[in-house]
Chain A
Amino acid sequence: MVARVGVVTFPGSLDDVDAARAVRLAGAEPVALWHGNPDLAGVDAVVLPGGFSYGDYLRCGAIARFSPVMREVIPAAQSGNLPVLGICNGFQILCESQLLPGALTRNASLRFVNTEQRIRIATAETAWTRAYSADQELTIVLKSGEGNFVADDATLDALERDGRVVAYYVGDAPNGSRRNIAGVTNEHGNVVGLMPHPEHAVEALTGPSTDGLGVFTSVLDHLDRQPEPALPLGTP
């Protein structure tokens, strides 16, 4: 069975086509999910793509977390079962949904920054990074205006202690993120937020590298190793 990976389109989502392409190139079937439809269509994993959901009005991701589709995503993610990846705006939505700790604020420069960025994978123990090794360096695209990751010291200490930092920027964080954090995960390792865009580094023709593809093959590998879900009660 080919894994089915849902890609949510919110009004204002922009990198949904890119996320779907990356899913396909990794060997899975992308499934388009609509923000207004509280139905995950039985997908095996979900990507919340980059963009400006709901125009980023109020605060990035603050409105998207209340959308009907998120009513389904949030409990499934909390349970530790459904792998969920948030990229850029998707990361912001995961933080606003309190699926991930911390918050993403305006870049220290107060300007949008688009750059080919070196990041270092800090843990391969998540659903979305198991194709990498810890300390592996990647070159992928960072492009955001509000990518400055902040959290209080206690939270940051706990994240680092518990191996929940997924990736660090190599060198100075171009957005001022605390402790150079580029991505984090939840306690189960099924929910990952990344500020840089792995889906823009999946083809040699268009990307700075193909280093990002591993994020999407990781989740397929993760799903392969999962036991078949038990049939719901009452199924004949």
Chain B
Amino acid sequence: MPEVPLIDTVATAEGSPDTPQPYAELGMADDEYARVRDILGRRPTAAELAIYSVMWSEHCSYKSSRAHLRQFGDKAPHTDALLVGMGENAGVVDVGDGHAVTFKIESHNHPSYVEPHQGAATGVGGIVRDILTMGARPVAVLDALRFGPADAVDTARVLPGVVSGISFYGNCLGLPNIGGELGFDPGYAGNPLVNALCVGVLRHEDIKLAQAAGPGNLVVLFGAPTGPDGIGGASVLASATFEDESQAKRPSVQVGDPFLEKLLVECSLELFANDLVEGIQDLGAAGVSCATTELAAGGTGGMRISLDKVPLRDHRLTPEEILMSESQERMMAVVTPQKLDRFAAICDKWGVEATVIGEVTDVSSEEHERGGRLVMTWQGQTIVDLPPRTAADEGPVYQRPYARPATQDGLQRDSATHLERPGPGELREQLLRVLGSPGVCDPRWVTQQYDSHVRGNTVLATPHDGGVLRVSEDSARGIALAVDGNGRFSRLDPYAGAQLALAEAYRNVASTGARPLAVTDCLNFGSPEDSGVMWQFAETARGLADACQRLGTPVTGGNVSFYNQTGDSAIHPTPVVGVLGVIDDVHTRLASAFPTSPDQARIYLLGTTRPELDGSAWAQVVHGHLGGHPPQVDLDAEEALARILSGAAGEELLLSAHDLSDGGLGVALAESCLRGNVGCTVHLPGDAFEDLFSESAARVLVSVAADSPQEERLRELCREHGVVSTALGTVGGASLSVTHTGGEFTVPLSELAAAHTATLPALFDG
């Protein structure tokens, strides 16, 4: 018979102040542990140590980033559109007509490397619950993915697994995947980035917040039973109290069940619609620890939980493991006793298990001063008695040292201007190489595995510049979303790189005809304990906050992922920025495909092209080069361009619009041709090489009926807003035909398509 484990109660802790505790193994620093002892006035119990260690982890407390993230609030532009700002599970933005939208991006990088399929799947599940928790119906997802070299052996393991995980979870959950990005770079080998964005729709009056109000109200855990998922750390505590080999080898990656999540979504929405919930919180990282401390801290501050009432999938779990478990598909609600029966009936209808595990309590003014009082019992004994605000809101904040790395100057001096440029006869071949390179090519091998149609409100999806959704069938209003980032630009200059990421997502949203409104960001970095990485982070936060302020688009929430590095080698600093926009009449949205209408369409390039090849796709693909300075940031030009595009969409002037980014004009022309299955004939006015491959920002390729009032009006709009418009040529034929001062070249559509589409199947089929 195994020995009955000794329970580490508050009384035991008081009587054994000198018992050594494995706080270091749980990732706590000496001073953090000392602070816990100071807060409690005694050593923590094992359960309390579990709570503080996860709540004060980098992932939950943002202790290294918080000092920098404050700028997003301090510099936030004023906007009437923001209904809920940073700090809640997700921000909420007014999109008009009483409709609101909530959206957020989050990373699941490390789990996706360890177990790509489940890691990516549960990443989708987690962000969907964040959106649900705000009271919204989740309506779509987007994903930004980065992997090591496309032809690396490990990429053939990680990429298909990640894609199948997103496909499996998102498709089974019934959420259309409407956009995203796919990138490759040696720096992401061993550190893939899997960032998932979810967007939800709700009415203004339906916003829910994470708070446990009303003493006497019940705390209900509903959804999946708790199992030993993602509790790597807790085994330290378990082994400290008793020996059991079965505890040792448990998976550190959570396993997802999208079917249960679908039931949980429908069940929760029905509970919300019937007004049966006073406060709600999803269980993600840090599970029960996080949900109880955050709900309590957001409410009266008082809560009493019987931890042994938590339904278990494995009855051997210790209280510490229950507190740290990251089992998926669980929610916690605060419910008044009068409504409990109706609450339970709806859970029963959806086959969702619901269990009362505690209640909200009152706190004395003295307890309130200390940060509230959360008490947990186990088999009748008190194992937790702590002020929840100290765990949820008052974690450590570090001013990590940061310094610009000495190597940065050398990197910036090594400009692409020294690289050998193609002669006139080589332009065609180099364009095809860039067009077919893994980071630029047609991502259909990936995106075909995602359902983009379910729920029937998808107006635009991949490969167009942004995803566009109809908000509801009784309104013409639409929303647009895009996610973008460019780690290479950020590596060259993290301040400018963050601004360029925002500018690209902003421009992509504008290219659909929508007005950009708000931002969510996922900041992916190496170790914050490296002063050079921390400098990259500080510069990124400063750059993004400044640019958001300038463009009038506040950051509403997001996520920081540190420690994306192997040994001393960190990933490129990679801020991934999601922008949400609104379009008054979704029927006027713009797509990136050239039109096949019988009327002659003229192609214009809006914006200024400079000789900016540093960090470009061309430099990477043709020369394997990264150095110099990223393209110039011109936020005035970005804003002017966005005004032109949304004005032009509203007046229905344009036949297509496509943002210029990776690869430059040559790639944009080819993509608009391929998406419309029609050719074009263009003349490059300047240096042909720079015109084709420069990645200057603030540029968009549009088409308009030739010699029409619309064309005249477009030129007038550009003049009004001070944006250069250059007529490049016309749409038509079955090839991309380019003339320039040094010659000409022609690529048949079939050859463009072959170059663009063959890459990923060749790498990942079979």
Contact = CB atoms under 8 A, between A and B. Distances in A.
A205 B470 contact: yes
Contacts of A52: 171-172, 258-259, 262
B259 A11 contact: yes
Contacts of B259: 11-12, 52, 54-57
A114 B174 contact: no
Given A12-B172, A57-B259, 13 more contacts: A11-B259, A11-B262, A11-B350, A14-B455, A15-B174, A15-B454, A51-B174, A54-B259, A111-B449, A112-B449, A143-B454, A200-B456, A205-B586
Interface in A1-47: 11-12, 14-15, 17-18, 21
A210 to B, nearest CB: 13
Interface string A201-220: 00101110000000000000
A163 to B, nearest CB: 30
B354 to A, nearest CB: 16
Contacts of B451: 112, 114, 143
Given A112-B449, A205-B470, A17 B167 contact: no
Nearest to B259: A55
A113 interface: yes
B172 to A, nearest CB: 5
Contact of A18 (B260, B351, B454): B454
A141 interface: yes
Contact of A11 (B351, B454, B473): B351
Contacts of B765: 109
Contacts of A114: 447-453
Contacts of B167: 111-112
Interface string A51-64: 11011110000000
A136 interface: no
B346 to A, nearest CB: 13
A234 to B, nearest CB: 35
A143 B765 CA distance: 19
Interface in B224-274: 257-260, 262-263
Contacts of A207: 453
Contact of B257 (A55, A109, A143): A55
A12 to B, nearest CB: 5
A199 B168 CA distance: 22
Contacts of B172: 12, 14, 52, 55-56
Contacts of B490: none
A205 B765 CA distance: 33
A43 to B, nearest CB: 21
Interface string B341-353: 0000000001100
A133 interface: no
B470 A206 contact: yes
A115 B257 contact: no
9 contacts: A11-B350, A12-B259, A14-B174, A14-B454, A51-B174, A52-B259, A112-B168, A114-B451, A114-B452
A197 interface: yes
Nearest to A145: B171
Contacts of A54: 259
A17 B456 contact: yes
A177 to B, nearest CB: 17
B600 interface: no
B571 to A, nearest CB: 28
Interface string B166-198: 011001111000000000000000000000000
Interface string A104-131: 0000010111110000000000000000
A200 B453 contact: yes
A21 B257 contact: no
B459 A113 contact: no
A15 B174 CA distance: 8
A76 to B, nearest CB: 25
Interface string A131-143: 0000000000101
Nearest to B262: A12
Interface of A: 11-12, 14-15, 17-18, 21, 50-52, 54-57, 109, 111-115, 141, 143, 145, 197, 199-200, 203, 205-207
A11 B174 CA distance: 12
B458 interface: yes
Contacts of B260: 55
Contacts of A113: 448-449
B164 interface: yes
A12 B260 CA distance: 8
Contacts of A203: 456
Give me the 4 closest cross-chain CB pairs, A-B, nearest first: A55-B259, A14-B174, A18-B456, A200-B453
B157 interface: no
Nearest to A53: B259
Interface in B654-690: none
B587 interface: yes
B263 A11 contact: yes
A117 B73 CA distance: 47
B177 to A, nearest CB: 9
Contacts of B459: 205-206
Contact of B458 (A21, A145, A206): A206
Interface in B432-479: 447-459, 470, 473
B257 A111 contact: no
Nearest to B167: A112
A205 B168 CA distance: 27
Contact of B164 (A55, A111, A115, A200): A111
B626 to A, nearest CB: 33
A143 to B, nearest CB: 5
B160 to A, nearest CB: 8
Q: Which of B172, B263, B447 has the most CB of A within 10 A?
A: B172
Contacts of A145: 171
Contacts of A109: 765
B756 to A, nearest CB: 17
Contacts of B450: 112, 114
Contacts of B458: 206
Nearest to B266: A11
Nearest to B589: A205
Given A55-B172, A55-B259, A206 B454 contact: no
